Each structure stands twice: as structure tokens, then as C-alpha cells.
Chain A
Amino acid sequence: MTGELAGSLEARVVEARLRLDAWVREVVAWHFDPATGCPYWLERARELDFDPRKDVRGFADLARFGHFDDEALRGGPVRRWVPKGLADQPVFVFETGGTTGVPKARINVRDFEVDYEEFSGRLSDETFPRGSDWLMLGPTGPRRLRLAVEHLAQFRGGIAFHVDLDPRWVNKLVRDGRHQALEAYKEHVIDQGLTLLRAHDTIRCLFTTPKLLEALAAKIDLRRAGIRGIFCGGTEMNAQFHRFAREELVAGIDFVPTYGNTLMGLAHSPTWTEGDPYDIVYYPPQPRAVTELVDPDDPQREVGYDETGRVMLTTLTKEFFMPRLLERDEAERAEPVDAYPWDGVRNLRLLSSLESSVSVGVY
């Protein structure tokens, strides 16, 4: 960390780190306690050459677990992920996007609600008015977003209207190059969104993905339609999209970019004000999740601030423990800020080594 950080921020960074270490001890103690832990981790504990409850004293000690293999999340029995301490609670299961085969799944009890209640505190009451209704135009089905946005609306006193959207079908159309079918499906979704917007003038808040926002804004002036705030996420977006959204697509509407996934929860972006750069910086919901940026060739080495690294995610809740998963994304490491006194990620994108190779053939 540079010495330019204000003293108060520096103190908050230290405080956040101490809180994280304490939370790590609490979460590890919970997951590895035979009375409260889940079958998966209790079984894994027998293979470890250390005792997590004794030897993990802070976040740094999680390195002893190596890297979590998310293939473990495919297939059943899904109940091996349910902590005994929560066995009497209703359990949700949320799946990652996935296009083929068995999807990865994560169980939830209240994590998604907690994430979105915390996020609610970051929304402006002026542009996301309490008591107003929402349109949720994004992935539905077994994805957490569908219930999470509904919970956010309800938590703020509103009601969420929904349109069905199956991202796996979309991915299949994209993969098969069925552009016209993809367009027709998009139109189908957008038309339903427009119908809801026109029929319910209490809708002031919108959740949607970048692509659907483009398509929706091409059909209707969202400001005139009464939309005051847009919470946008579900897929990656870059600085250029952010600028385009603010300057042209939905000028005059509060635009809140976020990044979430089933395994991490919901990352926040600091409030943007006129003149700020359009770079999108996300801060994970620490201590419930931590993102680190590491050298892709040597994941033990954390990269420096503003350097590019591979995202390594650790999730730490009483419902789900996932240490040091190497994600398929890369980003630049961002310094802590007042609202989020821990590391963030800037300009998140697919790992460059995974981008499609040059196509073979003429042209």
C-alpha cells in the first residue's frame, strides 16, 4: 500500500484486516466443528495435515488449504454442503450459468438476502426511492439474482416485476451462431419488459444486464418511462460501456454497476460522481468474501497495486466456505477507499489466456 493513504483510511484498513482475521477464525471454527460444519468440510478435514480450528489464526493461514477446486460443486449430494448448524433452516440451491453438463451449485439459506440488504444501504433513496416498484429484467430460473433482486425490492418496501430469461438458452444460441434466433429471443424479453413498464407506473427502479439495457433503451426513453435508478450487472462491463451508459444510453438516470456471482455474492462499486474516471472498480463484500489478485503463473504471489492479476476468490460465510478459488477472470488490483477499506478489482474481464484464439482459414 502506498504511503499516500490518509491516516484515517490506513487505520480503517488495519481495522478491516483485524475484523477479517477474527471472522476467518469464527467461520473456520464453525465449518470444522462436527456440531455445526457441513459434511464436505468435515470429511476434508480428515485429509488435511493441519487442524483448521487450531492452526488457522487469520486470513493468511487459509493458504494452507491450497486452492479450492470448484468441480466439487458439480453434482450431488448437494446436502453435503449444508452446515449442520443450519440443518433446520429452509435451503435454497443456486446454480452458476453453465451451458452444458451438470452445473455448479451453491446452497443458500440467507446469504443472498444479507448481501442485498447490505447493498441496499449503498443505494440512494432519491434515485432508488423506497416504496417504489422494480422491474427485474435479467436471468431467472435457478439463479440467485432472481430471488435476490426481489428481496432487494421488498427490503426497500417495493414489489419486483419479472420477465423469464434463460441465459443458458442465450449462451447456446450465441455458441451456435444463431443470431436471428438470439435477436428474436431478446425482442421477446424486451417486449415483455416494455409491457410491464407501460402497465405499472409505480416502477422506478430497474435491474438489468448491460446488453438488455442497450436493447431496452433503444426502444424507450427510460427517464420518461419513470425510471430513476438502474442497478446493472449480471455480466462483465468495461469502462467504455460505463461511459456510454452515463453519457448517452441512460443519461440523467442513476446508474449503479455491480458484479456478483453465485459463489462470491455481490461486489459493490463506489459511488460515481461527475469527473470521476469511468474505470469500474468493484469491492467484494468483505469479510463475507475476499478477492485477491495473483500472478497467473505463480498464484502464491499477490500482484502489486495497479498491476494485472488473476482473481482469487475466498468466500467466508456460515453457509459457505470456499478458500482461494482461482477464477477465470483477471483485473487490476485497486487500492482501498474510504467506503471499502480493503482491496478491490479494477476492469474485471475474462483471463486473456482464455480468450478465443485466432480463427483458422482465409479471412
Chain B
Amino acid sequence: MLHLPLLRAGRPYRSLDVARLTDVRSGEPVVEVSQANPGLIARDLGRVAEGRRALARMTAAEIVERSKEAAGIFVEGEVRVGEGDDSMLQGPEEYVRHLSSTTGMPHALARANMGKIHFVLANLDTVLQGLSRGLDPAVLDRGWGEEDGRTVSYRCLTDTLGVVLPSNSPGVHSLWIPALGLKVPVTLKPGSREPWTPLRVTQALIQAGLPREAFGFYPSSHAGAGEILLRSGRSMLFGDRSTVGAWANDPRVQLHGPGWSKVILGADQASAWRDHVELLATSVAANGGRSCINASGVWIEASKPGLGREVAEALAERLAGIEALPLDHPDAGLAAFPDPSLAHRMSDLVDGHLAAGGAEDLTARYREGGRVVEVDGYTYLLPTVVWCDDPGHPLARMELLFPFVSIVELPADELLDRVGSTLVASAITQDPESIRRLVECPDLERLNLGAVPTSQVDWDQPHEGNLFLHLYQQRAMQAAIAV
């Protein structure tokens, strides 16, 4: 059977502790994955300076070139996955099948995510410019330089970026790749069901010429994840609310928890809202509704009576048109649940809150049965649009792993006071006073003004916390020497 070893400073290590991943539909084993014991991770993290020295021997420009080559390998080429007799050359189609078989992601969405990762690898220079706001990459090679006649210098805060990854969507891997362009090695703990993407990206980059010492790949338990977060000078953590909450007071850890992303529809759009239903649907359901940049709320500034409800009804009708299709269907837009009981628990959670009153499932009337459906041996949750009478309703604060959205309507002058933590806000308004309030609102991490879906990423902008500022700190420097 295919066996994925750990990568310790890029070198394979077959652990005696193995997790076996099974096919979401058949339950048949697909792959064995070596599991790292926490002490092994800690030991390796004590020696990551080697990887940093290896990356330092390349210029940032060379790394960008290698990354462009890796982009081609990632999307079209073959990479070696596995070890010895239990390995194979994995082409792009095998990658899509592997990914889909253990995570339940439709092939079409897997390919779309490949596109995101390809973009970041192929345009690493643009991404780095976005993160560093135009810093000359040579400044990182030399440690200091001149910008607009001023001496600038940055000190790197870590020998590695630790990354504790999720299994929900491969698109998140685009977030750690730029660390290598910033000359920082990565220590990756893949999601338990999704070792495929970080491994493929890693192998593509090594194949393209990046030093293998710059990569650690450690499938492991929660304890192993903790070791990475404790011992990496800087890290990224993807997880649910309780997981990331435990690290909320550690500035070394950049948190990627629930996004509670929202579309805000301004009162000035009262007559134009129909033009935005498609944008709302995309924000909620793109990528199977599995990302933190998917909208889980539509917040409407009250203007004329009944408008909010009308918008909600229209969105429900639109999203109810998304069918659960077999994963290899070209139009499949919903991901299957590897653990069917999780789908049932989520659905029960929603129903429990609906039963308490104050909210209505507007998509229920379009379904013949329940929210949980089985198709072709897979279990899915169908898109769900919930109208909430009050933004304080529990369902108005809920983010779930499928296209789920709540819609609330409230006075314009109250909306931003109650909006709460929001990773991405797409605000559809042209009212200058509303725009001023939006820009000043401290709860909105990323702000899209106008008709931009929450799920649309502009790589020229820093995203979900600025990785450059996470890894580097500006240093005061005076040089009274001739160089």
C-alpha cells in the first residue's frame, strides 16, 4: 500500500506509528501515513537553522524562479509520493483522485483549488510584493538596503514557520507558500485526512530546486501540533474556535479560525438588490462553502419593510438549486462528509436552534427530504439559508462546513456595532457615510467595497494576517561604513 513517510529536513522517515486513511465512499484503505511522535518533532525543530541557512544561500529572485518552475510541476507534472516500494509517481489526475477519496472534495473543486495554488507558486513575486508592500526582495538577501533614500533593515523572527493545517480545502496551502519566498523554511503538520496537497507542493518545490532542508512534513496528533506551535518562532494555526482559542494570547501564532465572513447590503441598494443575488450565492457556496472566506452571514441595512426577507427568499431559491452530485461529476459543487455522523450532528444542531424559534429555514421548502442526503454512497449537507429575526440569534453567529448562511436585517446605525469578528466583509454600498463607518470598523479584517464576493482573493493584498509582518520585524539601522 502507498505509504507517506515523514519528511525530516526533507528526508523521508518511515514511522512505526501509522494512520490508515480510507476512501470516503467505500471505506477501503487508500494510503498509510507515517505519524510523528511529538518528541521527534521537538528534536527536529531544535535543528531547523540548517534549513534557514540552506535557503539563505539562494537569492529571493532565485527562489521566485524555482517557484515558477514548481507551479508547472504542481499542476501538470509528476512528483514522487510515498517511500521505496510503497511509493508512486503522482500526476495531477492521481492527485485529484487521492484528494477526493480521503476528503470528499469534488474533483472539480479540487482542480479549482489547484488553480489557486498554481497561481501563488507562479506569481510568488507579485504575492511577496503584496505582502511586503513593494519591498525590494534584495533587502531580504542582504539584510538591509535603501528604499526611497532611507536605510531599511528587517530581522527575521524565526528559523521556521510552523503550520498546523486543516483538511477542509486545499486552497489554504496558498497561505504558507510565500514563507519560502521570504526565505523562511516551513514545518508542516497536514490535516489528518489531507496530506496530499502539502506533500505535492513540497515535492514540486524540491524538484524545482529549493533545498530539501527547508521542508518538514509531520503528520501527527494534536500533541504533535502543539509541539510545532510551542517550538516554532512563528506559526500559523488553522482550526475550529476551541482549537485556535487556546492560542489566542500567543503573538507567535497567527490564528486562522472561523471567519464569520459576511456580505453587508447597504440601504442604498434597496432597488438594486436583485443584481447581487449571484454575488451572495458565490460568497456562500464557492468551493463547497468550506472556507473561512465563504460568507456565513448576509447583513442587510433596513430600508423598506419586507426587503430583507425578500432578499433571503431569493437567495434560498438560488442556493436550493445546488444539487448533491457524485464527486467526479463536472458540476459537483458540494463536498461529501468523510464522517457521515458529523453531517447529521451539524444538521441536528441547526434544527435544534430552529426549534427554539426566532429563525426559519427558507431552503426547507425546496427539499424533498431532510438536509442530509446520500448520493452515490456519499453523505452531503444541502445548502441552507436561514432567516433570523434578530442578529443575536445563535444561528446568526454560526459557521458550518457546508453552504450555510443566515440573513438578518437591522438599522444601519446598529449594524456595525453588532457585526462582530469578520474575516472578510463585502460591503455593497456607495453611500459615503456608510463607507466611512466600514473603514473605521475594527471588527472587519479584510474589506471589499462594492460587488466583490467574499471568496475572491486579490493576491496583491495581504491576506488573513500579513505573513511578512508575522515573520519579519523592521529594525532601526544606521550604517557608518563604506559598503
Contacts and interface: CB of A to CB of B under 8 A. Distances in A.
A214 B230 contact: no
Contacts of A363: 166-168, 191, 238-240, 243, 256-258, 292, 401
Nearest to B38: A214
A360 B344 CA distance: 11
Interface string B237-255: 0111111011101100000
Nearest to A278: B16
Given A179-B226, A180-B250, A361 B40 contact: no
Contact of B346 (A243, A249, A360): A360
B35 interface: yes
Contact of B40 (A179, A183, A244, A362): A244
Task: Give the dominant DSSP class at A's interface.
Answer: helix
B105 to A, nearest CB: 14
Contacts, number: 84
A244 B37 contact: yes
Task: Determine which residue in B15, B16, B229, B243 has the highest number of CB atoms from chain A within 10 A of its CB, and name it.
Answer: B16
A362 B37 contact: no
Interface in A228-242: 238-241
A178 B399 CA distance: 25
A218 interface: yes
A362 B292 contact: yes
A48 interface: no
B246 A178 contact: yes
Given A239-B16, A249-B39, A361 B258 contact: yes
Contacts of B230: 179, 183
Interface in A337-363: 358-363
Nearest to B257: A363
Interface residues of B, number: 43
Given A178-B246, A179-B230, A240-B35, A362 B17 contact: no
* Chain A: interface size category: 20 to 34
Contact of A361 (B226, B339, B401): B401
B336 to A, nearest CB: 14
A177 B168 contact: no
A238 B17 contact: yes
A241 B35 CA distance: 11
B342 interface: yes
Interface string A138-176: 000000000000000000000000000000000000000
Interface string B340-384: 001001100100000000000000000000000000000000000
Given A177-B242, A238-B16, A218 B250 contact: no
Interface of B: 15-17, 35, 37-40, 42-43, 46, 166-168, 191, 226, 229-230, 238-243, 245-247, 249-250, 256-259, 290, 292, 339, 342, 345-346, 349, 399-401
Given A214-B42, A278-B16, A360-B342, 9 more contacts: A177-B245, A179-B226, A179-B230, A180-B249, A218-B43, A363-B191, A363-B238, A363-B257, A363-B258
Nearest 5 CB-CB pairings of A with B: A177-B246, A214-B39, A361-B240, A240-B17, A363-B166
Interface of A: 177-180, 183, 210-211, 213-214, 217-218, 238-241, 243-244, 248-249, 278, 358-363
17 contacts: A179-B230, A179-B247, A183-B230, A218-B46, A238-B16, A238-B17, A240-B15, A240-B37, A241-B37, A244-B37, A358-B339, A361-B241, A362-B290, A362-B401, A363-B191, A363-B239, A363-B256
